[in-house]
Structure 1
Amino acid sequence: MYGITEADKVFLKNKLENQKRYLDNNFLYINGKNIPYSHFYFSSWHNSNRYIAELNNRVSSLNDYAEKEGLKPIFAVLTLPSEYHRQKMITLKSGRSKLVYNKKYINDDKHSVKSGSNKLQFLVRSIMNSKHFRNIPPKQRCYISTKEPHLDGTCHLNLLVFVPEEYLNDCVSAIKSRFLDTHSKVETNINNPTAYIMKYIFKTLDDLRQNPELENLTDITFWYLKHHIRHFTMSKTFVSLEIYRKLNGRIGLISLTKNYNKGLITVIIDPETKKPVQIFDEFGELWQKIKIPKVCNNTPYKMNDKNISKRFKELQLLNYIDELFGSDNKNIKCLNRIPINRMSNFELVNYYHNLDLENINLQHLGYVENILLERDLNCFTHINTPHDLNNLTANDFIKRGLNVNPS
């Protein structure tokens, strides 16, 4: 069904298993605990309950926003012309329906499932950029769209638009004038817009809502994965999802957007990555990015000999830690540290004060103190530092990995 073959299922299941293994077996070290990546990451399949809950919240928030603004809904189904459909539905004399090969189908990259999906998304942009929609103030128009497959796998799109009542007829005309075939349709008599659009969204997520196990996934989920198609898109009515997710839902989407637009919430963006690094309001900090070191990568499924390769890596890291911190520190977690010269002043001072000065290699200690001096950070403890080398014996030098000068 939906153009998914058994080979597709095997390939996609293997891909999902590898993703899940990676997310479960790699960790962030936070407050003395190893927390797997899977705790933070969610998508339509990974942590699907969180994904669906957020999806429901976004749709509900948009509907609440439209009601407060006095906007009216328009629902449209946008379908592709016959040349995009590999098969078509016919009705037999017995009354049964059957899928048969469509002679008008064009079998090339320009008419693939993904290309059809892109064409429908371009159609939505064309509608929203039309003269009738551009006459509406930006805050008075918003939309939700969701894509789903026909039985033969061809994509179609459901669009829910909210506009002021006085623009309703013009906007309906703008949508109808862009229909690609006769199966597309428009409705305006909708009593509960949220339930209406969620009916279409949830039917593509039923297998994930009921029992999101790998063996229970249906062809419709594999269709989204195979063709890299988004379940759901919406207008930029609210603050970006990246900011909303950083606050873990502590502030509602509507309230967060209003406060952000009024300048009551400030977001500091990293100029290089374009990602948020700090969020605060008039009362103080709401969120700040913390540079958390990664725990060693355990992805044994990528190795030929799982046990030997894994143990070899562990021994290499332990030997490195022994050389750097001394042999009494084998309880130190296997962390990928930031290079010393790239640490911030705060990180560098913290790192320096946590060094084991009784057992550390003095060459490494001298290197750290030189960087501190270059940054005018005078925070030395003066305990067994390079300043006290005259008090060390030859055995002390050998123990700490330094060459003894015969002179």
Structure 2
Amino acid sequence: MKNYGLTSFQRDKALEKLYKNIEYMNDNGITMDGKFVPYADFVQNSYNNADRYIAEIQHRAWNMFDYARQNCLENLMFTLTLPTEWHPMKRKYPKSKTDFTMIFNQKFGGRKYITKVNSYKLMNCIVKQNIPFIEPILDFSPIDRYSPRNASKMLSKMLARFYKDRAYTSIPKDLRCYFRVTEPHKDGTPHVHMSLFVPTDKKLRVIKALNRLYPAPLGKIETNIRKPVHYLMKYVLKTFDDLREDKEVSNLTLWYLYHGISRFYTSRTFVSLDIYRKLKGVYDLKELSEAYLRQEVRVYVYPDTNKIALIENEFGTLYVLKPVNWFEKNDFKDRLGEVIFNFCFNGLSIPKSVNLFQKFSFRVKLDDFKPKIQLDSGFESVYKEPKADIPVPVIVDNEEYVFYHGEIYKPKIKPYQMGDFELYNYFKNIDIETVDTRHYIFTRNLLVKRGYLDAEVLKLNAIDELFESEFF
């Protein structure tokens, strides 16, 4: 089995992380109609419900291909590798071009070597300065600098040069489509396969730009791809394990898990996956994006949490965010009702033409006691929040005040900012009948943590436990 540069320690750490995650998802969940449903039943990733996860990836790839075919875009397959100093090992062909062995790369920037400094032998060390009678300046970080995670970031920086090149920026935004996969070499160094769709009249210019920015052996371009989706999915499926028969997790999956590297990225051609996943297959990805731009589907998002509150179409509600507890449920009804009422009757207008890559947002004005709700499409934001005023401390008659929004206020000190004695007096003077119980529990927990109250730390919503443990 290939180890992809993983040591036994790294492999054990990745397995420990994997098993803890699986154990947590199976032991924790939600209760529906009196029945416990673990998180593992509806969470999908590369090792949990992998069949659903792979099906979604195939759906995204096919929708990208359909969109490219609809707009008469041609496909280019591009492979990008890193320079030789990022590779711990290299191939040696002693007999033929097909028969090779892996040997250590002497040019690897993070290779293990011993440096002798003032009769001391140091490993993985670069001497930056060594002057007699002065303590030498040493650098012990080269091997961390050339880790697979940093190598993946370097690949993204290299691709950013192409995204900023005129050959790519000259393509209209709604015609820029790509799907890229990150895959490791045998030594653990990542490389990228990209399926790029470009207009016919821009194809030659894009090829010249790729050859200019990434000359061989860094870059490789293939133009005669008969079945782009099949060719791309070959690389995607190589990065997944077949866990249908309880097979062992491979080192390839552990490589992605340990280094925290994403398998693939796509262009922002369609709506956000958060919106698509909430609808559970009511629309396919391409159809949902087109319906959204035709204003047949509307999405409401809370600006404070950025959570989707409501998705609706011309026939009714498609998705509503379910509250967690009764307090949230009542607050949720008030907020959502105010949003829909103001949106329908305050005469808001939506622009008729919106670019596919843009994101438009509207602020619905509610009363001062309700938070604002933002209608959001899920694309890249072009809305900029106004800069908030910064409170300025001032002194009036030898007393400290705060000048904020054109007025002077007495500064309020929060419980966690108070000293021990001040916090204790503040807690004793709290009126439990009028104060918010969560604020009371929060202040009480601060005293418990500081050791001034002999009690247990309670959850903020544990009102019943509070009345059982306190005497009023």
In the TM superposition, residue 6 of structure 1 has moved relative to its aligned partner by 2.4
Specify the SS of the correspondent of 1:177: helix
- Percent of counterpart pairs with the same letter? 33
d(CA) in 2 for partners of 1:33 and 1:77? 49
In the TM superposition, residue 31 of structure 1 has moved relative to its aligned partner by 2.9
CA-to-partner distance for each residue in 1:163-195, whole Å, 9 max, x for gaps?
110100001112222216524200111111000
**Which position in structure 1 is the counterpart of 2:222?**
187
Q: Which of 87, 97, 117 pairs up with 2:152?
A: 117
The verdict on how the C-alpha distance between 1:79 and 1:26 changes in structure 2, with shifts beyond 3 A counting, is: same
CA-to-partner distance for each residue in 1:246-295, whole Å, 9 max, x for gaps?
111221111100011121111111111112111101111000110235xx
Structure 1 residue 168 corresponds to structure 2 residue 214: no
Q: Which of 20, 26, 42 pairs up with 2:44?
A: 42
In the TM superposition, residue 33 of structure 1 has moved relative to its aligned partner by 2.3
Runs of 4 or more, structure 1, over 4 Å off, are 345-348
TM-score, with normalisation over the residues of structure 1?
0.70
Counterpart contact for 1:2–1:152, Cα < 8 Å = yes
Structure 1 residue 280 corresponds to structure 2 residue 283: no
Q: Which of 163, 168, 172 pairs up with 1:133?
A: 168
In the comparison of the two structures, how many residue pairs are matched? Answer: 306
Q: Which of 226, 234, 242 pairs up with 1:208?
A: 242
| Larger strand percent | 2
Higher relative contact order (CA 8 A, sep 6+): 1
Q: Which of 81, 99, 102 pairs up with 2:102?
A: 99
| Larger helix percent | 1
Q: Which amino acid aligns with 1:208?
A: D
d(CA) in 2 for partners of 1:126 and 1:94? 36
Counterpart contact for 1:80–1:180, Cα < 8 Å = no
d(CA) in 2 for partners of 1:247 and 1:173? 42
Counterpart contact for 1:76–1:159, Cα < 8 Å = yes
Counterpart contact for 1:81–1:181, Cα < 8 Å = no
Unaligned runs of 5+ in 2: 111-141, 335-431, 438-466
Structure 1 residue 90 corresponds to structure 2 residue 92: yes
Counterpart contact for 2:27–2:38, Cα < 8 Å = yes
**Which position in structure 1 is the counterpart of 2:234?**
199
Counterpart contact for 1:81–1:180, Cα < 8 Å = no
d(CA) in 2 for partners of 1:243 and 1:283? 18
Counterpart contact for 2:323–2:332, Cα < 8 Å = no
CA-to-partner distance for each residue in 1:332-385, whole Å, 9 max, x for gaps?
xxxxxx6x5x6625789xxxxxxxxxxxxxxxxx989x99xxxxxxxxxxxxxx
Unaligned runs of 5+ in 1: 294-337, 349-365, 372-399, 402-407
TM-score, with normalisation over the residues of structure 2?
0.61
The verdict on how the C-alpha distance between 1:178 and 1:283 changes in structure 2, with shifts beyond 3 A counting, is: same
In the TM superposition, residue 125 of structure 1 has moved relative to its aligned partner by 2.8
The verdict on how the C-alpha distance between 1:286 and 1:150 changes in structure 2, with shifts beyond 3 A counting, is: same
CA-to-partner distance for each residue in 1:186-237, whole Å, 9 max, x for gaps?
01111110001111111111x23654x4x61111111111111111110000
Counterpart contact for 2:323–2:329, Cα < 8 Å = no
d(CA) in 1 for partners of 2:69 and 2:51? 27
d(CA) in 1 for partners of 2:329 and 2:313? 28
In the TM superposition, residue 97 of structure 1 has moved relative to its aligned partner by 1.2
